[in-house]
Amino acid sequence: MARGLRSMEVIILPDAEAVGKEAARRIAELIRRKPNCVLGLATGSTPIPCYRELIRMHKEEGLDFSHVTTFNLDEYYPIDPRHPQSYRYFMDENLFNHINIDKSRTFVPYGLAPDPYEHAEWYEEQIKKAGGIDLQILGIGHNGHIAFNEPGSSLASRTRVKTLTRETIEANARFFDRPEDVPRYAITMGIGTILEAREIILLATGEGKADAVAKAIEGPVTTMCPASALQLHPRVTFILDEAAASKLQRKDYYKYVHEMAEALKKQILEARMRA
């Protein structure tokens, strides 16, 4: 993870595994530099290769998560944390159970909170108490949503209760036994909350994300594509596979810029070694 000031960076890699490994490398670099860092994490199929690589780094390279704090973007409501489709269950199964992280420092919105509105305010406060998020990992929905901030969400929104769109409910129905079992609400970080992270990495893989990625990177900043708000952040990196990047008009330019940036880093490192 490069230090210093920089703006939006677009990295295009061959496939989903390469995307996951690059994201994990950057997360690991932060953890080694700041062992008590605060990570913002995402669920879904896209970050799984990243989590697999972090687990490997922990087991084979001794990557230490013992002082790391994490905040997940969102959770269905209502849902039991033990339900196989809850995001708490997902994180335990795909990352937390396989590394040496203190579970009391892993925050996921509570899907059975008696008052979800009050819980959303509490969650927002916990992020502030932790000192804010150092690095936020994001995915992107087919309609450009980040977390459960659907199109039309305020760009200044905070952690809150959101009613899921019919499109999202239908898309998620395949994960539940019956369509009526799909939760109709979620507790989610807001776009304003996400933008306060010191650094953001958005991961996208597959041709199905290509339209949303193109709108987020090259389209106007608009509430109809919530991910486009990331254009306003001073330290955001889109890590994409070739398929997800396929509709970017300036794809070749992004590749060129990344190659030149890597060459410059190498020159600087060599100069320091000679000094």
Q: Which residue has the tokens 């369509």?
A: 179
Answer for the pair 93, 166: CB distance below 8 angstroms, yes or no: no
Of these residues, 150, 196, 199, 241, which one is catalytic?
150
What are the beta bridge partners of residue 203? Answer: 239
Q: Which two tokens stand for residue 200?
A: 């953001």
Of these residues, 58, 119, 145, 233, which one is catalytic?
145
Cα–Cα separations (whole angstroms), residue 233 to 19, 54, 89, 142? 21, 26, 31, 21
Catalytic site residue 259?
no
Catalytic site residue 36?
no
Catalytic site residue 145?
yes
Taking the C-alpha atoms of residue 43 and residue 57, their distance in angstroms, rounded to an integer, is 20
Taking the CB of residue 109, how many other CB atoms lie within 10 A of it?
27
Of these residues, 22, 53, 74, 134, which one is catalytic?
74
Answer for the pair 207, 246: CB distance below 8 angstroms, yes or no: yes
Residues constituting the chain: 275
Of these residues, 143, 149, 196, 241, which one is catalytic?
143
Catalytic site residue 74?
yes
Active site residue ranges = 74, 143, 145, 150
